Amino acid sequence: MESTPTSVSANASDVGLIVQGTLIFLSALVGIFGFIVKGRIETKQRVKEKDLQHQQHLRELRLERIHNQLSTFLGPASIHAMEMWSAFWSVVPAKLDKLANGRVNAYFQDIGFSFQTFIQAKYCEMESWVGFEVEKEMTEAPSSAIAVLYRKFMKRIVKTCAVPLANLIKQHGGYLSQFPSEEEFKKRFPCSAKDGWLRNSYYLSFTNWTDEFVQIIDEEWETNDFSNMFPHLSKFPCQITPWILSQVTELREQQVKLGSANHKVSNWEDERNENYKDTEYVTANE
So what's the pLDDT on residue 59?
Answer: 81
Supply φ then ψ for residue 129, to 5 degrees. Answer: -100, -10
Residue 230's nearest CA partner among 136, 98, 96 is 136
Residues with Cβ within 8 Å of 177's Cβ and at least 6 positions away in sequence, in order, are 69, 73, 74, 199, 247
Phi-psi region of 104 (alpha: psi -120 to 50; beta: other; left: phi over 0): alpha
Phi-psi region of 231 (alpha: psi -120 to 50; beta: other; left: phi over 0): beta
Supply φ then ψ for residue 144, to 5 degrees. Answer: -65, 160
Domain ranges of the chain: 64-285
Written as tens digits, the pLDDT of the chain (286 aa) is 555 666 656 565 666 677 777 777 777 777 777 777 776 777 777 776 767 676 777 788 888 999 999 999 999 999 999 999 999 999 999 999 999 999 999 999 999 999 999 999 999 999 999 999 999 999 999 999 999 999 999 999 999 999 999 999 999 999 999 999 999 999 999 999 999 999 999 999 999 999 999 999 999 999 999 999 999 999 999 999 999 999 999 999 999 988 865 555 455 455 555 544 444 444 334 3
So what's the pLDDT on residue 276?
Answer: 47
The pTM for the full model equals 0.76
Give the single-character DSSP code of 227: S
Residue 94's nearest CA partner among 284, 239, 274, 230 is 284
- Cα(108)–Cα(58) distance, rounded to whole angstroms? 49
- Cα(51)–Cα(234) distance, rounded to whole angstroms? 52
